[in-house]
Amino acid sequence: MKNIHKTVTALMQQGKGILAADESNKTANKRFDAVGVEQTEENRRKYRELLFTAPGVEQYLSGVILYDETLRQGTEDGMPFPEYLASKGVLAGIKVDQGLEDVSPDKGPEGGQVTRGLEGLEDRLKEYKTLGASFAKWRAVARVGDGYADPAIIENAKRLAEYACVCQSLDIVPIVEPEVLIDGVHSAEDTEGSLIESLAIVADALVKKGVKLSHVIFKTSMAVSGKDAENRAGAQEVAERTVRALKTALPDDVGGVVFLSGGQTPEEATGNFNAIARLEPFPWEVAFSFSRALQEPVLELWAGHDEKKELAQAEFLKRLTLAVAADAGGYSPGMESI
Ligand code: 13P
């Protein structure tokens, strides 16, 4: 249990966050396509190398979540990525779920989705551990309005608990991510309600399964308005609703709470995180664990051009600097232009 405790403490250390770079090949390809980058294994490697080798990245990152392919890749001069990250004091994690499945094929995603990946999980985790992973991630999704009685919510909570249990038996820290999706016209108040329901049911399932909460990190959405809502809530309201939801749903002894950006713009996610941090202290440490809010402008700048690598890395470092400033409650929108 000693190592797992150290991993939680390292991941949740103050002033750093976790980069989510665990986009599946399908998702990475979709993002490449949007900026005209050819969808090849080598381009995915190059892009991740750009991120991980940005100079000084270790000042801002405690960990990076990788995808299966990336965990097995390395830098141009042949150092495996987990080893490279370890040399900088950054922990490597691995996404182990295998994506979403519609509960009822005739209704599509609206009919609820469950996350696949329990089959063979223990063997995969054992291998990932030998490849250098010390923590893992499993993402489930819920739509605003899905509640305690929804069969997909219940099934997802059960699977998250099973996954967390297997991780802990191997000394791997599980990040449990019941994401409440931003899609829709709902209010921030509605998201707050959905956050409470989906987080509480997962916490309950973990306890019932005997998972040690202090060795679990929750990855959560913020209580934002739906992407297409007419009047979207401002940072103060989002922060108050988010913190209230977390305090209501989560036991005090969870190992930490990290935030996904979930389709917010980089400025919005950073501003909301900043407003959340200003409401500290909380019973648990909080940190950012963004993918898109750190990467979107970086990928756009790079767009597959080697000569843009340094410019893109500078943009990545800027986003990290701002996220870390937000973690201390010291971000302001004016800092975007520096
Ligand atoms: P976003 O920050 O883009 O939501 O990604 C975080 C993540 O890990 C999604 O599973």
Give 126-163 pLDDT, tens digit per residue: 999 999 999 999 999 999 988 778 899 999 999 999 99
Told to judge if 95 belongs to the known catalytic residues of this protein, a careful annotator would answer no
- Position with higher pLDDT, 146 vs 164: 164
The bridge status of strand 91-95 relative to strand 61-66 is parallel
pLDDT single digits (tens) 254-304: 999 999 999 999 999 999 999 999 999 999 999 999 999 999 999 999 999
> Which CB contacts under 8 angstroms, 24+ apart, belong to 52-57?
52/21, 52/81, 52/84, 52/85, 52/90, 53/84, 53/313, 54/313, 54/316, 54/317, 55/313, 55/317, 56/317, 57/88, 57/90, 57/316, 57/317, 57/320
Among the listed residues 177, 192, 197, 268, the single catalytic one is: 177
**Dist. CA 66 → ligand 1 center (Å):** 12
The mean per-residue pLDDT over the stretch 101-125 comes to 94
The number of the ligand 1 atom at minimal distance from the alpha carbon of 292 is 3
Predicted pLDDT at 31: 98
At 237, list the tokens. Answer: 């309201």
Examine the pLDDT at 338 and tell me if it is beyond 80: no
How far apart are alpha carbons 213 and 192 in whole angstroms?
Answer: 22
Q: Whose CA is nearest to atom 9 of ligand 1?
A: 260
Decide if 177 is catalytic: yes
The pLDDT assigned to 17 comes to 99
Distance 313 CA to ligand 1 centre (A): 20
H-only helix segments in 89-150 = 121-130
Residue pair 51/317 in contact (Cβ under 8 Å)? The answer is no
The pLDDT of residue 2 is 78
pLDDT of 54 over the 70 cut = yes
Q: For residue 66, what are the CA distances in angstroms to 4, 11, 20?
A: 18, 15, 7
**Mean pLDDT confidence for 99-109:** 91
Helices 266-277, 309-327: axis angle to 10 degrees equals 30
Burial class (CB in 10 A: 0-12, 13-18, 19+), 26: exposed
State mean pLDDT over 165-170.
Answer: 98
Write down the pLDDT at residue 117.
Answer: 98
Catalytic residue among 219, 268, 285, 296: 219
Q: Give the largest CA-CA distance in the chain.
A: 53
Task: Indicate if the pLDDT at residue 94 is higher than 60.
Answer: yes
User: CA angle, corner 128, sides to 20 and 68, nearest 5?
Assistant: 50
Separation of alpha carbons 97 and 91, rounded Å: 19
Question: What's the CATH superfamily of 2-337?
Answer: Aldolase class I (3.20.20.70)
Per residue in 214-238, pLDDT (tens digit) is 999 999 999 999 999 999 999 999 9
The secondary structure of residue 57, as a DSSP letter, is G
What is the CA(99)–ligand 1 centre distance, in A? 13
- Average pLDDT over the chain reads 97
Mutate to test the pocket of ligand 1, among 261, 264, 296, 299 (most ligand atoms within 8 A of CB): 261
What distances in angstroms separate CA 97 from CA 67, 79, 176, one per listed residue? 10, 26, 11
Q: Which atom of ligand 1 is nearest to the CA of 139?
A: 10
| Bond preceding residue 281 cis, omega within 30 of 0 | yes
- Domain boundaries defined on the chain: 2-337
DSSP structural state of residue 104: S
Percent of the chain at pLDDT > 90 equals 95
Q: What is the pLDDT of residue 105?
A: 84
- Tell me the C-alpha to C-alpha distance, in Å, between residue 169 and each of 22, 116, 127, 164, 319: 23, 20, 14, 9, 36
CB 18 within 8 A of CB 287: yes
Question: pLDDT-derived band of residue 1, with 50, 70 and 90 as boundaries?
Answer: low
- Which residue among 11, 179, 273 has the greatest number of ligand 1 atoms within 8 angstroms of its CB, and so is best to mutate? 179
d(CA 150, CA 79): 46
Round to whole Å and give the CA distance between 28 and 218.
Answer: 24
Quote the pLDDT of residue 211: 98
Question: Distance, CA 304 to ligand 1 centroid (Å)?
Answer: 22
